[in-house]
């Protein structure tokens, strides 16, 4: 059985990365949105949760480390991929709350391989999880 491509949210503070990944993944058939930082990403997720999140680790404001941790806690059904040019290999760096890792600068084929091999993890959200305070700009 073939599944439709996942809805994606790409988070990166570098416009060229966001635009190039969005263009390529949209061309393949994915439904792609993007955000320039962690605050924007959280607003996007609250408005409409994607099935998959690709996040840079090194960003100003909320780092990808913090964003991925918050997404794992508040939106456990979203599959996550950490991206960075500062780390090597195909495993998420220790302490990163991500299901997969993409080394920036690798081929798009490498990214697609990571995306396609992510497990569909059924995570249950905590029952009475309080909504944390957030920056006034998030309106949450």
Asked whether residue 137 is domain-assigned, the answer is no
Describe the crossing of helices 15-28 and 108-117 by its angle, rounded to 10 degrees: 70
**How many CB atoms are located within 10 Å of the residue 54 CB?**
28
Query: Is the whole-model pTM more than 0.85?
Result: no
Asked whether residue 133 is domain-assigned, the answer is no
pLDDT tens digit sequence for 19-36: 999 999 999 889 999 999
Question: Which positions ≥6 away from 42 have C-beta within 8 Å?
Answer: 62, 67, 70, 134, 138, 140
Q: How many helices (H) and strands (E) does the chain have?
A: 4, 5
Asked whether residue 135 is domain-assigned, the answer is no
Asked whether residue 83 is domain-assigned, the answer is yes
Give me the domain span that covers residue 43: 7-119
pLDDT attached to residue 90: 61
Asked whether residue 125 is domain-assigned, the answer is no
Asked whether residue 139 is domain-assigned, the answer is no
Query: Number of folded domains in the chain?
Result: 1
Asked whether residue 42 is domain-assigned, the answer is yes
DSSP string, 56-101: ES--SSS-HHHHHHHHHHH-TTSEEEEEESSS-SSSPPTT---SEE
pLDDT attached to residue 115: 86
Mean pLDDT, rounded, for 98-112: 86
Asked whether residue 58 is domain-assigned, the answer is yes
pLDDT attached to residue 3: 54
Domain at 11, CATH number: 3.40.50.2300
């Amino acid at each position: 059985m073939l599944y439709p491509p996942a809805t994606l949210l790409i988070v990166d503070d570098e416009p060229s990365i966001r635009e190039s990944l969005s263009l390529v993944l949209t061309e393949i058939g994915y439904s792609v949105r993007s955000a320039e930082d962690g605050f924007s990403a959280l607003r996007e997720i609250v408005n409409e949760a994607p099935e998959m999140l690709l996040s840079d680790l090194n960003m100003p404001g909320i780092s990808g480390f913090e964003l991925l941790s918050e997404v794992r806690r508040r939106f456990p059904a979203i599959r996550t991929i950490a991206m960075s040019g500062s780390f090597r290999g195909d495993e998420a760096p220790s302490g990163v709350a991500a299901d997969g890792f993409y080394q920036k600068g690798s081929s798009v084929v490498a990214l697609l391989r990571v995306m396609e091999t992510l497990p569909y993890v059924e995570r249950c959200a905590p029952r009475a999880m309080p909504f944390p305070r957030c920056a006034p700009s998030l309106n949450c």
